[in-house]
Structure 1
Amino acid sequence: MVQWDKLTAEQQAEVQHQLAVISRGVVEITPEEELKNKLAHSVATGTPLKVKLGLDPSAPDIHIGHTVVLHKLRQFQLLGHQVQLIIGDFTGRIGDPTGKSETRKQLTEEDVKRNAETYQKQIYKILDPDKTKLYFNSEWLSPLTFADVVSLSAKVTVARMMERDDFTKRFTTGQPISVHEFFYPLMQGYDSVALETDVELGGTDQMFNLLMGRTLQKEYGLKQQIAIMTPLIEGLDGVNKMSKSLGNYIGIDEEPNQIYGKAMSIPDELMLKYYELATDISNEELNALRSGLEAGTVHPRDAKMRLAGTFVRMYHNEEAASAAEQHFVTVFQQRALPDEIEEVAVPAEELEQGSIRIVRLLTVLGLQVSGSEARRSVQQGAVRLNEEKLTDPNGEITLKDGDILQVGKRKFVRIKL
């Protein structure tokens, strides 16, 4: 391997540049000096690093929280490196128990296949497909014999496995730990062995699994990978990790107006974190924005509108971003109805008595996914009919053709009878 001190001044400058880009927003690089040496060898020889991310397709859609690590991968691609994207179709049948107090439900083969297809459609909104090698880890895990598995498991002690916080907590509180769960970090680590990975990325909750890759590569006589941990990003509530189950997320496949409107509800104190971790703006732009906010020359509202527009531009296009901004200004800043409102028919059988319960209407029209969610929206004052707030979740309403029903700040439908 070509060492740092063997590089020309120009090559050393390139390595420093790459380190600065890679280090942006990361929590930890283990070990950083080894990364510097790997980059030095890459720059000197023109050999791209193999940078791995493993995805267990346990959820069908990608949100902004998921994109933090994907943007880091994209940065590696722009620096000339090769991404190894692993769809965990094998490990996904087990599920990583990280952060859970109990065994995660195992996915079926059909679940994994369906979710993996959705991931692939969405992930190339960020990654360059020409610099991404896609793998399914069943390619090398399924052929392992029982003897191979025994040999693999013999390379790590139970004491080492119990260093994982979630295992320790469950053991001390008497929560069950199934033996097969120990194999998840072993299999993820073995992925790095099979692909001879140089760098592996993951959130801070994946630290144990990333370091297991280093351990197993050493056991198999390979050069050890670098582990890079990226932070978890808080959701729109500003408190909890972004999650679909908590409803505090922005999905990258959502409509432009939805993305823009949701982004405008990001707490001011988190704006720069979102810019740093989840957008493609340069370090120079980020530093200028930070300085402007601190000096008061950039208004937080303007910075947030730029953030919202950036998300729409990244996941749709410039035209959609401009239209979403105009929609937001018209509807929410000027408190006017949008020019175009989707017309939705109410099934005749739902109006046999001439009226319909508010909660039922919201679910029938698909404005809320469940009765409980609809009830909460009404209780929170988020539902309006012809701009008049509806507050009784048990109430019934009589509709007429052309009524405007609004849920929250972004959902509008025109009733058709």
Structure 2
Amino acid sequence: MQASPEQSLAAPLSDRVREALAVTLRGCDELIPQDDWVKKLQKSQATGKPLRIKLGLDPTAPDIHLGHTVVLNKMRQLQDLGHTVIFLIGDFTSMIGDPSGRNTTRPPLTAEQIKQNAETYYKQASLVLDPAKTEIRYNSEWSDPLGARGMIQLAAKYTVARMMERNDFHQRFTAGTSIAVHEFLYPLMQGYDSVALQSDLELGGTDQKFNLLMGRHLQQEYGQEPQCILTMPLLEGLDGVDKMSKSKNNYVGISEDANTMFAKVLSISDELMWKWFTLLSFQSEAAITALKAEVQAGRNPKDAKVMLAKEITTRFHNAAAADAAEQDFINRSKGGIPDEIAEVNLPLAEGGGAQGIAVLLKMANLAASTSEGNRLIDGGGVRVDGSVVSDKGLKLAAGTYVLQVGKRKFARVTLA
């Protein structure tokens, strides 16, 4: 357990430094070393010079999800205290491929893939960060000019033995799984980013700790004051088990429509909700503690979950969209019809006859096939104008109908 700053530092903390430290520590996994960060905060207050806070993201996919925003939220909180936030796009390091947590070599991205992904990255991150106060950088700025000679000189500043202390490298070596030499370059290049940017604090997930410590080491090697590092917990996804990931399909994308975003947040467990509050909400810790006490005293936990869903949806859309999403969810939960649904015009059967319900489900993209449509009907998951369909032989004549599959899939079908 880390000693309190008052115990380890002679000078008492000002209210401003105390507040900044509390903001830094909220929800974090580790702050290393805490005493050094307090000294940096004190120096910043004394000189009026903002600290340089770095977050690097490799554009390995075009979309950002709520898991990514855990560190972005922390950046925004520190940004609001007046410090300089550096949003670093790892266009160079993406071509190497981050081996963190991998048991196989990560395929590097092409330059074209990186460019396409990077185009949307900052636009999405700006939904959290203040664009007017954010420094945007690309690590190809200093990595490309480094060249072969510079790369060799950089590699000389770290040993293979130290590199093999990294868990994923050690495990792969022990298991006889191949490790490509270029994978050793990734933590070196990420660490060199901190040298180039002269960062005071670098943020990352707990899986990035080795790479973040590399930045401290290399800054010392290059005669700079070493950065502090702040690791944030990895956010469990909708399943409450695995790290949020698009590949696990347990994610909430920040560019998803408001109704989907709201409904996804409401689907998490009551237990996971409180961790999401700590890591994703901008409410004060006192407010969250009070809300949790109300729930423990008997208040419906769904009330708290709705508050979280509305806050997140408002942040990435607006308050009106969040209100509409809440009403849409209520309508769906009651079997009601949302205000906005897909309008589909479909033909009648050959000769102008009525069309079978399973065929209509397929034609309206509510089922992948007629056989799946029949299975959905057997399961009681299909409604026409709010009434459950129990007869697979049902046929609909000319007219307009609202078809519903489950709680979330609707289409207003006009047959003619």
TM-score range, shorter chain: 0.7 to 0.9
Cα-to-partner distance string for 1:351-399 (whole Å, 9 max, x where unaligned): xx9979979966x76669x99xx89x969969535267799xxx99977
Partner of 2:305: 304
Q: Distance in 1 between matches of 2:236 and 2:264?
A: 14
Which of 28, 51, 64 is equivalent to 1:26?
A: 28
Code of the aligned partner of 1:318: A
Code of the aligned partner of 2:224: L
Partner of 2:278: 276
- Describe the shift of the 1:211–1:320 C-alpha distance in structure 2 as closer, same or farther (beyond 3 A): same
Question: What is the 5 A alignment of 1:105-144?
Answer: 105-144=107-146
Partner of 1:90: 92
Cα-to-partner distance string for 1:121-171 (whole Å, 9 max, x where unaligned): 111000001211000110100111211100100111111111111111111
Partner of 2:166: 164
Q: Distance in 1 between matches of 2:19 and 2:159?
A: 40
Identity %: 50
How far residue 23 of structure 1 moved from its aligned partner, in angstroms, is 0.4
- The answer as to whether partners of 1:218 and 1:224 remain within 8 angstroms in 2 is yes
How far residue 257 of structure 1 moved from its aligned partner, in angstroms, is 0.8
Question: What is the 5 A alignment of 1:50-61?
Answer: 50-61=52-63
Code of the aligned partner of 1:82: T
Name the SS of the counterpart of 2:400 in structure 1.
coil
- The answer as to whether partners of 2:348 and 2:354 remain within 8 angstroms in 1 is no
Question: What is the 5 A alignment of 1:63-212?
Answer: 63-212=65-214
Code of the aligned partner of 2:276: Y
Partner of 2:382: 384
Q: Distance in 2 between matches of 1:235 and 1:68?
A: 12
Partner of 2:314: 313
1:243 counterpart = 2:241: no
Partner of 2:3: none
Cα-to-partner distance string for 1:93-128 (whole Å, 9 max, x where unaligned): 121011121111111111101111111111100000
How far residue 19 of structure 1 moved from its aligned partner, in angstroms, is 0.5
How far residue 178 of structure 1 moved from its aligned partner, in angstroms, is 0.7
Q: Distance in 2 between matches of 1:81 and 1:347?
A: 61
Q: Distance in 2 between matches of 1:122 and 1:176?
A: 36
Moved more, 405-414 or 155-164: 405-414
Q: Distance in 2 between matches of 1:343 and 1:165?
A: 53
Structure 1 vs Structure 2 CA RMSD: 3.3
- Describe the shift of the 1:344–1:120 C-alpha distance in structure 2 as closer, same or farther (beyond 3 A): farther
Moved more, 200-209 or 246-255: 246-255
Code of the aligned partner of 1:322: D
Partner of 1:331: 332
Q: Which structure 2 residue ranges, 5 or more long, are not aligned?
A: 1-5
Name the SS of the counterpart of 1:85 in structure 2.
strand
- TM-score for both structures, normalised by structure 2: 0.88
- Describe the shift of the 1:380–1:124 C-alpha distance in structure 2 as closer, same or farther (beyond 3 A): farther
Which of 281, 294, 297 is equivalent to 2:296?
A: 294
Partner of 1:17: 19
- Describe the shift of the 1:143–1:405 C-alpha distance in structure 2 as closer, same or farther (beyond 3 A): farther
Name the SS of the counterpart of 2:339 in structure 1.
coil
Code of the aligned partner of 2:74: K
Q: Distance in 1 between matches of 2:162 and 2:210?
A: 10
- The answer as to whether partners of 2:344 and 2:364 remain within 8 angstroms in 1 is yes
- Describe the shift of the 1:399–1:294 C-alpha distance in structure 2 as closer, same or farther (beyond 3 A): same
- The answer as to whether partners of 1:62 and 1:252 remain within 8 angstroms in 2 is yes
- The answer as to whether partners of 2:237 and 2:244 remain within 8 angstroms in 1 is yes
Partner of 1:343: 343
